[in-house]
Structure 1
């Protein structure tokens, strides 16, 4: 998952990110008594003065601002001591918090931008100290019993469906999930539970990291490298093969030796299993984490941890998720069986000797099919997508869809010469309404390489009418840098990352909420956060868009029509198998956090329902499922597929009026006025209904993936 600053605190992360701090605290020193008057972090025009920012003044600023924020929260609490139920929730609490948090958010956002964009200016250790300190300070407003009581008493006083209701309910639910409604004994028990959970999660992560690093194979066969793309050879210096995702995924696609693929796959799925390395087994930690999460749910008054997660999700309940995904599975499972049968026949005609396609064969033979059946060549395709042309086309698409203008502003201080700054204007406005930084190219000595993504969107400043702030964001990528002979050329995967992150940025930049608390992606339910990103990525399979963003870097020819058709077919090839995999992992996650059954029994029960591959004895994939046991996706992994489903349904509204210029403009305005403008100020179910006029359906996703939908109506999403 890509990283977002300003993302809703109220989600499955809440229980760890907004709790009173557990474990140690990194104290950030205050440096310089004259900081408030001479702080170089912000210019007169409100933009960060990146060319003068140092670690020292970032740490000094965050030290001062966090202390000020915590003191201001205490002052608010003093005004509530005589009766929080009597308070004017917005005048006495929210308005001051909006103004107080502006400087802190800016410093936090620019520190994160530097961390991702230039690690020499903001090393990991320094950023983590700033991040931990800022997170702790910002959590104080959700850990106040008095503010919680004030929110509770105001829930019924605000207009139903209004932005104000969303703000009040956010504080009320945050407080509840943080145990603000518990008496001292139960709150202490909750604190102890969370401390133990942090320890177990860390132990789990340490063991998986150790097993990942322990595998180190060096490939010395020169012929092996002939087919590898440059991005993969660069990730394997000296032929070093690792289990890092950006390496192993490419290896499984390109390695022609089946035995090598099997060895790598076996090493990957046996991490944490204890086979051969008992000291690195993670099953004990998995079960302890599950027990602690069940105990946490019981303390807070829920049946199980999955029920806690659904409190902050668009889906609303596990039943709604499973009912909807059942409609997807019905078509995907049939398609999976057909795809594997066709792939096996294809492979047999090309020398494959196996009796069936196995898990370690699928990626390799899928790539072979793409090349043979559709003449799909990733390296040749890149030649049609030089960065300057792609960016012009992307901006043009967004300007036409959403009635905005994007212009580069010169002479804006940045953290590197490659970074550009852009203003966003309403079509008829003279002053910009938002702005963003764009840092496109990899710099191995300065930028971190993402494990799951090659790009990030960082919300530096939210829109707030109370604090009178305009949206500001940074887009940081690791695309291949240009040379003197060749411009930066983007692969299809690069294009998907660019469009996805820009879609998220648009929701931040075009938010028009009154309060920062619900601006942009803040307060958006976790399973809806990626909708705008996936929506914009869908345009990559639109022929007009492909023509708009393509121009061969030498001949300037547009992407040929038959190649455009091939891109759609490539997207659909193996789509049933991939969807079944995601549906299985989603079901596994939800069942692990709903049931008390041993994890292996759950795996054995669910696997044949979703997967057409045999479950082999040493396949212990659940023991390294870091997304749900260490990261923040517990009982929320389904969000990946859910947001794609919602985005496909959204995009289908444009597809239905394809070729009708005015109709597309009307739908674009409606999307902007709902998904982009509302931010977290309206529940995503209502946002979707306002845009589409009905509840979501899985049919559009099935159609986009080429999986014929024969389902009848599904249960409405409440």
Structure 2
């Protein structure tokens, strides 16, 4: 990789003559318009589809919050009618709970058909897809790269398309057989319950998957929620981080904030009187005051560490958790607990940085495929018995999460992990191929689909690239694999803790090493080198497969 200044100059076209520079500027201007049009049309397509349902038998298994989210009048959500839409916060849950295959088919078809030339012609995005691909690749070539993927890899931890392809291939080697086995077992389960078919379609899997998971593991978010009061979860999370990273987290009262529910915490070194960092926690949903971010929340870096300005890091963690009940407690679903651990892990990279300059502090200047590493590490601790006991307390009895429920929770998290991993592998490969070839997008889909997916491709309806917002309007073009790459690195990092799990001192030693590298160095050093300093070798996908419960195997040639 080139020096930071040299590379930044090249990517900004400083090495180009005036004619090429003008071409690049024109491409960027046109690209902004194409991305805007793509998003505008997809937003309209998403809002346009709606099915009004009055039959109560259709919604008989819907949880209360889904009934409220879909009811035309939320005040009478038990009576209906209900409006089924493609809005992200309800679509997948509708697919999981709706017993009508015909309705699921219509929802699925409408979702994957967004932007298709077979739909509303004025909302078709196929031409935008091709134009965005052309403009990005053409710009990359003017800047001296073979393709936009090659240009993208200049600023990634992976460093090359070859390294990413190697990861995808190694994971697929084990994920594809796991996917096939999972789908066969799910088909048998559905057949035994009266669903007569020789194969499951994409609109069948979410519904039968939920029912199978409930049958196998008695998995219920509502039952688990009884065990996770927010204050107890926070205490356990802070205790874990204090033990691992040798810090002290204390609440501070009397700090002015933007709402009465917002709390403020100082972060100290063990023997210091002055805080080294601080963060706000804004935990609760407040009507329309916050953006709707389902379960995940977000971290805002309010102030970076800087020797120049003598400033300490300051962050805000913002969530949409359910406000406290009458007895004064807010209870979290397990997915919300995971989101809290993820976002706090992300914030630690900002709060515990030791770099001297804001430009490389925290996640600043960290490679795009390494940004999510720190957020993916703490959630692994949720499957540690001691940690789960430290964050659980039943609403009525105060009991810790029972051992049987904990074991089922661990198993349920990896239910159909092969199917999920193959989908993520496919989307990662699709993104890379779209931005490295000139082939028409549908031909790219047809070439990749059978390699990764064990479902029929209904290409007459399924135009999913035409609504692939992350790579055509967001910042994940030629980088969608980054989510998976970060999870692979995070699993490998956590395995260092797991390998010494029976020795408290060694766990603290690993925690110190993690703090001194990933949390302290930020963007001041290449992440590939940081990983080697922490692990003593290059990363491996083995730990990710193990964490997903997927057996590592090698298929015969």
Normalising to structure 2: TM-score of the pair? 0.96
Superposed CA deviations along residues 370-409 of structure 1, whole A, max 9, x for unmatched, are: 1111111110110000111101110111001100010010
CA distance in 2, matches of 1:425, 1:188: 52
Q: Does 2:447 correspond to 1:605?
A: yes
Is 1:249 matched with 2:92? Answer: yes
Confirm whether residue 507 of structure 1 aligns to residue 349 of structure 2.
Answer: yes
Matches within 5 A, 1:182-331: 182-238=16-72, 239-331=82-174
> Residue by residue, what CA displacement relative to the aligned partner does 1:624-654 show, whole Å, maximum 9, x if unpaired?
1111111110000001111001000001111
8 A contact 2:304–2:358 mirrored in 1: yes
Matched, 1:178 2:12: yes
What runs of 5+ residues in structure 2 fail to find an aligned partner? 73-81
Q: Secondary structure at the match of 2:377?
A: helix
- Give yes or no for contact 2:125–2:466 (8 Å, CA) kept in 1: yes
Query: Counterpart of 2:79?
Result: none
Cα deviation 1:82-139 (Å, max 9, x = unaligned): xxxxxxxxxxxxxxxxxxxxxxxxxxxxxxxxxxxxxxxxxxxxxxxxxxxxxxxxxx
Report deviation, 1:466: 2.3
Is 1:595 the counterpart of 2:432? The answer is no
- Deviation, structure 1 residue 711: 5.1
* Distance apart, 1:621 and its partner CA: 0.8
In structure 1, the partner of 2:503 is 660
Give 1:276 deviation, angstroms: 3.5
Once the two structures are TM-superposed, the CA of residue 414 in structure 1 deviates from its matched residue by: 0.4
The equivalent of 2:361 in structure 1 is 519
Quick one: distance in 1 between partners of 2:342 and 2:208?
Answer: 27
CA–CA distance in structure 2, aligned partners of residues 187 and 326 of structure 1: 38
Which of 632, 652, 657 matches 2:475?
Answer: 632
> Does structure 2 conserve the Cα–Cα contact (< 8 Å) formed by 1:265 and 1:360?
yes
Q: Structure 2 CA distance, aligned partners of 1:518 and 1:176?
A: 20
The aligned residue for residue 689 of structure 1 is 532
Contact 1:454 1:479 in 2 (8 A): no
In the alignment, which of 191, 201, 208 is matched to residue 365 of structure 1?
208
> Secondary structure at 2:3's aligned position in 1?
helix
**What does the per-residue CA deviation read over 1:133-176, in whole Å, with 9 as the maximum and x for residues that have no partner?**
xxxxxxxxxxxxxxxxxxxxxxxxxxxxxxxxx9x933332222
Instruction: Tell me, yes or no, if the aligned pair for 2:247 and 2:268 is still in contact at 8 Å.
Output: yes
- Residues 1:430 and 2:273 are matched in the alignment: yes
Q: How many angstroms does 1:320 deviate by?
A: 0.5
CA contact (8 A) 1:213 1:242 kept: yes
User: Does the 8 Å CA contact 2:228/2:391 hold for their aligned counterparts?
Assistant: yes
- Partner of 1:696, secondary structure, is coil
**1:448-459 counterparts in 2 under 5 A?**
448-450=291-293, 454-459=296-301
Q: Which moved more, 1:580-589 or 1:275-284?
A: 275-284
* Deviation by residue 1:322-357 (Cα, 9 ceiling, x = unmatched): 011101000000000000000001111112122211
Spell out, residue by residue over 1:584-611, the C-alpha distance to the aligned partner (whole angstroms, 9 max, x if none): 0000000000011111100000000000
Q: What is the CA distance between 1:693 and its match in structure 2? A: 0.7
Distance apart, 1:563 and its partner CA: 1.1
Q: CA deviation at 1:658?
A: 1.1
Q: Distance in 2 between matches of 1:295 and 1:289?
A: 10
Distance 2:404 2:530 in 1: 37
Is the contact between residue 523 and residue 681 of structure 1 (CA under 8 Å) also seen in structure 2?
yes
CA contact (8 A) 1:253 1:364 kept: yes
Query: Which of 339, 345, 348 in structure 2 is aligned with 1:497?
Result: 339
Superposed structure 1 runs of 4+ greater than 4 Å apart: none
Q: Is the 8 A contact 2:52 2:83 kept in 1?
A: yes
Q: For residue 75 of structure 2, what is the aligned residue in structure 1?
A: none
Mapped partners of 2:71, 2:368: distance in 1 = 37
1:481-507 CA-partner distances (Å, limit 9, x unpaired): 112146211111111111111000000
Indicate conservation of the 8 Å contact 1:170/1:523, yes or no. no
CA distance in 2, matches of 1:488, 1:370: 26
1:528 aligned counterpart, secondary structure: coil
In the alignment, is residue 670 of structure 1 matched against residue 513 of structure 2?
A: yes
Tell me how far apart the structure 2 counterparts of residues 440 and 343 of structure 1 sit (CA, whole Å).
38
Give the secondary-structure state (helix, strand or coil) at the position aligned to 2:315: strand
Secondary structure of 1:308's partner?
Answer: helix
- Note if 1:354 corresponds to 2:188: no
Q: Is 1:419 matched up with 2:262?
A: yes
Q: Deviations over 1:37-78 (max 9, x none)?
A: xxxxxxxxxxxxxxxxxxxxxxxxxxxxxxxxxxxxxxxxxx
Aligned to 2:302: 460
For 1:474-485, what aligned pairs fall within 5 Å after superposition?
A: 474-485=316-327
Q: Deviations over 1:451-483 (max 9, x none)?
A: 6x5301000111112221100000000011112
Paired residue secondary structure (2:265)? strand
Deviation readout 1:181-229 (Å, 9 max, x if unpaired): 2222221111111000111111111111111111022222223434222
Determine the C-alpha separation between the residues in 1 that align with 2:185 and 2:51.
32
Contact 2:59 2:98 in 1 (8 A): no
Check the 8 A contact 2:113/2:119 in 1, yes or no. no
Cα displacement (A) at 1:540: 1.3
CA RMSD of aligned residues (A): 1.4
Q: State the match for 1:391 in structure 2.
A: 234
Partner of 1:442: 285
Q: Work out the CA distance in 2 between the residues paired with 1:658 and 1:219.
A: 52
Match of 1:553 in 2: 395
Distance 1:663 1:356 in 2: 49
2:205, 2:527 → 1: CA distance? 36
Deviation at 1:545, TM superposition (A): 1.1
Counting matched residue pairs gives 545
Alignment check: 8 A CA contact 1:255 1:261 kept: yes
Counterpart-to-counterpart distance in 2, 1:677 and 1:192: 40
Cα distance in structure 1, aligned partners of 2:288 and 2:461: 39
1:534 — aligned with what? Answer: 376
In 2, Cα distance between the equivalents of 1:257 and 1:619?
A: 20
Unmatched 5+ residue regions in structure 1? 1-165, 713-718
